[in-house]
Amino acid sequence: MSDTSRSNSLLRLIWAARLSVLALMIAVAVALDAASTSSHLNDVRQRWQAEADDISLKLRGQILQNVQAVWGLAANVAVEPTIDDERFANLASTIFTLAPELRNIGLAPDFVIRFMYPMEGNEAALGLDLTKQSLPPREVEALLDSRQVRFTGPINLVQGGQGLAARLPIFERASDRLWGVVSVILDMDKLYQAAGISQAPANAEFALSKSADPGNREAVFYGSRSARWDNPITSTIAMPGANWTLLYQPRGGWPSHPANPWVFRSALVMLIMLFTGAAFWLTSLLVREDQARRRFSGLFELAPFGIGLFSATTGDLIRANHAFEHSFGAAARSLAFFDRSFDRSGRPLTGAIGIRKELAKNGRFAGIEAYYQTASGALTPFLMQGLQLDDVDNEPVVWLITQDIAERKYIDQMKSEFISTVSHELRTPLTSISGSLGLLANNAVGTLPEKASKLAGIAYRNSQQLTFLINDLLDIESLIAGKMSFKMENQALEAMVRESVENIQPFARGRQVSLHLADLAPVTVHADKQRFHQALNNLLSNAIKFSPAGGTVEMFTQQTLGSVRLCVQDSGPGIPVSFRDRIFQKFSQADGSDQRSKGGTGLGLAITRELMVRMNGGVDYHSVPGQGATFWLELPIVAEAAEQHTG
């Protein structure tokens, strides 16, 4: 799949994710709003249910309270079955004061009313057989079985209004025979008033029904029969012989939402916007990351220099751009390929460059030059830089950048040949001029006037400096061209170092710098004595020049497995970190005016590096700005000398 197709697929997935998040948040908001509305409706219904239950309890309590007063009459009749009118009237009048909602009280021995209080308006009830009127056989049977009060009603009264009939069975105390019943009528209007029903809220629909079905309008005996009931609150008033249902709901129906729904809904809208905005922001980061990846991929593939991505764990090639594959083909499948380097003559360099070792130590490297065989088989110089990243897709990787510098080397060679030609052409006349100026400055041809002698001395010193420059130019070009001969022999390191120190002592005294030689390892190295002296003198002269007057240059050795380092430590200002990548290049000098004032051609360290490479060694340094610098020359120890030393 191409990058364009992959990016289009990713964009479609991102938009699908965005829309899914939006749809999900809308669904959640709708569900929360519905839950809030349902919770509010439940709260409202619970409040109305509590009110309805309170009304039911008050009404039932009033009824039972009145009936409870009548039980006293029944108890008296049970003890005194032969009660007379006067006794009955006295008891009944007392009960009326205790039960103000009573309309009348009748005594019915054998279920036939013989006594009535008050008599006025109730004369027609005397002699009424209850079993033939409002007390059918099943009610009589229920009275006998339960010995409890039985209710009937409400009933429409002849005198007007509604009443609730209650019959209390009376059993003679002596024989436990059914004597008859106490029949009372409770005034429903008074009961409604006592229970607070007549003052029901104006915003409520209220009704009392003999049926639990709100649709049965014929069963409603109090309240509105025309109300359109919508899942009303119900409360049951259960009494022996009579079961009533209280119907209760807000006038106009139940609320469809809380009183101020837009506060909660505004919060939901804000929540939707917050989460959707967060989703858009996060997915936009993915889009930008994908765009950055595509741009990087384009730069990676189209870069004019080679880029290889290697596993830092195994060293295997993970990915390479076109320039890298064009340069090395299938050969550079591992970092180990770059440890097999050559010099410009095609001779393998002794010792690996140590890319992985350098990365493990510093995490990066730069400025490494070496010759490698390309895919075409040609030996080509490359400039390499590397960087290790600890975690890319859960794997540490190494970025290796290789630049074909064959053309630059060719231009450098032409420049070097030009410089070499010019230097050779200058050396002969310059030698003659320098010699003549030396004779004049030393009064070999007669004493010169003071001013003339001073000018001759300045000219002689400048000619000497120019001679040193030409010699350095010729040396570096000879080294690069591979034309400098080396006489490699086993040499005692300590003897060579002491000889170099003796030779440079006058220069150190002139700079008021002390040379301190510590104990040196008694090892033998394989080197060209003259070239070693040249390399060491370059390090010593630099250390002396950059140490302050009264300073000290320390020399000591450090042994590692199979090699020895000769260290030269100065007490100067140190080397800037930014100068590290260029310090061993030709004509390189730190830009500070203080370093410039020390003089020099900028070729000494470049010559030293080339000399040490030709002797299968190396040169490097360590420096902390402001705390001086320590340079070292590293050479392999001759095997037999190493054995003697360790033995």
- The residue behind tokens 């030996």 is 379
Q: 119: closest CA among 104, 129, 108, 109?
A: 104
d(CA 41, CA 577): 75
Which is more confident, 443 or 305?
305
Strand partners, 634: 565, 618
- The residue behind tokens 């360290």 is 605
How does pLDDT run across 307-350, given as a tens digit for each residue? Answer: 988 888 888 998 898 888 888 888 888 888 888 888 777 788 76
The per-residue DSSP string of 506-533 comes to HHHHHTT-EEEE-PPP--EEEE-HHHHH
Q: In this structure, are strands 220-223 and 204-209 parallel, antiparallel, or unpaired? A: antiparallel
Q: In this structure, are strands 514-517 and 552-560 parallel, antiparallel, or unpaired? A: parallel
How does pLDDT run across 169-179, given as a tens digit for each residue? Answer: 999 998 999 99
Side chain identity, residue 95: I
How does pLDDT run across 57-109, given as a tens digit for each residue? Answer: 999 999 999 999 999 999 999 999 999 999 999 999 999 999 999 999 999 99
- Contact (CB, 8 A) for 608 and 539: yes
How does pLDDT run across 6-22, given as a tens digit for each residue? Answer: 777 878 888 888 888 88
| Number of residues in the chain | 647
d(CA 490, CA 150): 135
- Contact (CB, 8 A) for 336 and 357: no
C-alpha to C-alpha distances, 605 to 154, 469, 535, 600, 623, nearest whole angstrom:
124, 14, 8, 11, 15
pLDDT at 392: 54
| Axis-axis angle for helices 3-79, 188-195 (nearest 10) | 130
Q: Is the pLDDT of residue 640 over 50?
A: no
Segment 386-405 shows an average pLDDT of 82
The top-scoring range by mean pLDDT among 229-238, 273-282, 286-295, 311-320 is: 229-238
Of 44-48, 148-152, 333-337, the one with minimum mean pLDDT is: 333-337
Q: How many degrees, rounded to 5, is the angle at CA 594 between CA 590 and CA 599?
A: 75
3-class DSSP state of 427: helix
Q: In this structure, are strands 178-187 and 162-171 parallel, antiparallel, or unpaired? A: antiparallel
3-class DSSP state of 372: strand
Does the model's pTM come out above 0.75? no
| Percent over 70 (pLDDT), the chain | 89
d(CA 221, CA 162): 9
d(CA 499, CA 204): 120
Q: In what order do the strands lie in the sheet with 150-156?
A: 115-117, 102-109, 178-187, 162-171, 150-156
Of 140-149, 276-285, 461-470, 578-587, the one with minimum mean pLDDT is: 461-470
Write out the H or E segment, with its range, that includes residue 211: none
